[in-house]
């Protein structure tokens, strides 16, 4: 019986279109170029940030992030950045009595912006606010603290096998991979993902059917 559902953020709750487009504009490269490089590093199994280092070798990503913020070209999220099924799914799950948490690898600023959207979630928090990021076990320890449910009654939903599915299962949680974003689409049918994931879904609305499973 699932009591709490915890959602990843990027490419689970929010689309990454704006994120990568803004980086491309800041680094003065065509958006398609950076998008293609993101796909290349995903196929290699590397972190997405490696795409920025391919565009600008030696880049200090944190320093550039601060420079963008100082220039008024920093992070921004609004309703258009949410996937279309987010509000309907969260509302339906909330009505069914599930505790809903949104927790992923994002900055404190992203957490502020998400909370400003008024989503029907009990808690929205980011790795930047916790001071620990996926796939570190400590992140999932924090997840279980805020889940207020046993590991076997807590479901983590995300698109990234190495950051979401595998470490969630290692922590004793249930896990669902969503076919969304480059990681979700590319790796959803990999044998190790099929074996590890309790569910593989195409939409968050499918979670209403597995809530009691």
Confidence check: pLDDT of 27 > 70: yes
Q: Considering only the C-alpha atoms of the chain, give the largest distance between any 2 of them, rounded to a whole number of Å.
A: 50
Report the half-sphere exposure of 15 (CA within 13 A, side-chain side). Answer: 12
Peptide bond preceding 135 in cis form (omega within 30 of 0): yes
Predicted confidence (pLDDT) at residue 9 exceeds the cutoff of 90: yes
CA distance 99 to 91: 11
Q: List, for residues 154-200, the tens digit of each pLDDT value.
A: 999 999 999 999 999 999 999 999 999 999 999 999 999 999 999 99
pLDDT higher than 70, residue 213? no
pLDDT score for 45 = 84
- Distance between CA atoms of residues 197 and 80, nearest Å: 29
Residue recorded with tokens 């076990």 = 137
In contact, 158 and 177? CB cutoff 8 Å: yes
In this structure, what are the phi and psi dihedrals at residue 73, rounded to the nearest 5 degrees? -125, 35
Each residue's pLDDT tens digit, 36-71:
999 999 888 888 899 999 999 999 999 999 999 999
CB 145 within 8 A of CB 154: no
- What's the whole-number average pLDDT of the chain? 95
Q: pLDDT digits over 110-136, tens only?
A: 999 999 999 999 999 999 999 999 999
């Amino acid at each position: 019986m699932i009591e709490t559902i915890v959602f990843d953020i990027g490419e689970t709750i929010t689309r990454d279109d704006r994120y990568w487009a803004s980086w491309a504009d800041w680094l003065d490269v065509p958006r398609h170029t950076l998008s293609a490089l993101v796909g290349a590093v995903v196929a290699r199994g590397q972190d997405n940030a490696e795409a920025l280092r391919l565009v600008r070798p030696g880049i200090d990503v944190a320093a550039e992030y601060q420079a963008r913020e100082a220039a008024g070209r920093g992070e921004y999220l609004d309703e258009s950045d949410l996937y279309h099924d987010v509000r309907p799914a969260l509302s339906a799950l909330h009505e069914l009595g599930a505790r809903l948490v949104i927790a992923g690898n994002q900055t404190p600023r992203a957490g502020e912006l998400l909370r400003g959207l008024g989503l029907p979630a009990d808690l929205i928090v980011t790795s930047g606010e916790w001071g620990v990021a996926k796939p570190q076990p400590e992140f999932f320890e924090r997840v279980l603290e805020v889940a207020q449910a046993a590991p076997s009654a807590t479901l983590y939903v995300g698109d990234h096998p190495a950051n979401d599915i595998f470490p969630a299962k290692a922590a004793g949680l249930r896990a669902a991979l969503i076919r969304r974003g480059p990681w979700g689409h590319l790796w959803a049918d990999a044998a190790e993902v099929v074996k590890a994931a309790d569910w593989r879904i195409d939409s968050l609305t499918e979670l209403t059917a597995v809530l009691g499973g």
